[in-house]
Amino acid sequence: MAATSGCKEPPPDLPIWDTHLHLLNSARLPYRQNRTYTPATAQPADLLRKSPATNFLIVQASVENGKEGVLTHVRDLQEEYPERSFRAEIEYYEASTGDDYTWSEAHLEALHGAGVRCLRLTLSTDGGSHRIAAAVQRLLRGQLGEIAGRQAWAVSMQLPLQVWNALSSFLES
């Protein structure tokens, strides 16, 4: 006997998103010198041929030498496939780490115009979960949270379960 649904309307025709993709081409966009591994090449044509999605979130891979690779892919894909939507997720680093990221209003607008819609927070998982959770809270209450809120960007964090547990009351508030 087949199961029936009480819903009389067909499901809505919603856009399909493919939301965590890496495009890698070390011949065109060299990898970081101090990377821990070397991935295989992943070309846009392969992605578009295999995915039924019309919307894509291209993610900066840890082996990439900064955010320029993912931004280049998004720009090129937007030009070549205007009927599809391409967005970028880039890594967020604190200004105190000495990186070359600047977070001026003009720079944020340029990143938004380039397709950035998500910042990935990457933290060392060394140390206790409460110490890491406190660092996440400080960042979300500070510049990272301000940027995400002002630009209406998402924040992505890959953290151990114990850290998420330590963050639970903060995230509920």
pLDDT in tens, the chain (173 residues): 455 556 678 877 778 898 888 888 777 777 878 878 788 888 888 888 888 899 999 998 878 878 888 999 999 999 999 999 999 999 887 544 445 455 788 888 999 999 999 999 877 777 788 888 998 998 889 888 888 998 999 999 988 899 999 999 999 98
Q: Which amino acid is at 162?
A: Q
Instruction: Write down all domains in the chain, each with its CATH number in brackets.
Output: 17-172 (3.20.20.140)
Count of residues in the chain: 173
Residue 108: partners with Cβ closer than 8 Å, 6 or more residues away? 147, 150, 151
Whole-model pTM: value is 0.79
What is the number of other CB atoms lying within 10 angstroms of the CB of residue 79?
A: 9
Residue 159, φ and ψ in degrees, nearest 5? -130, 155
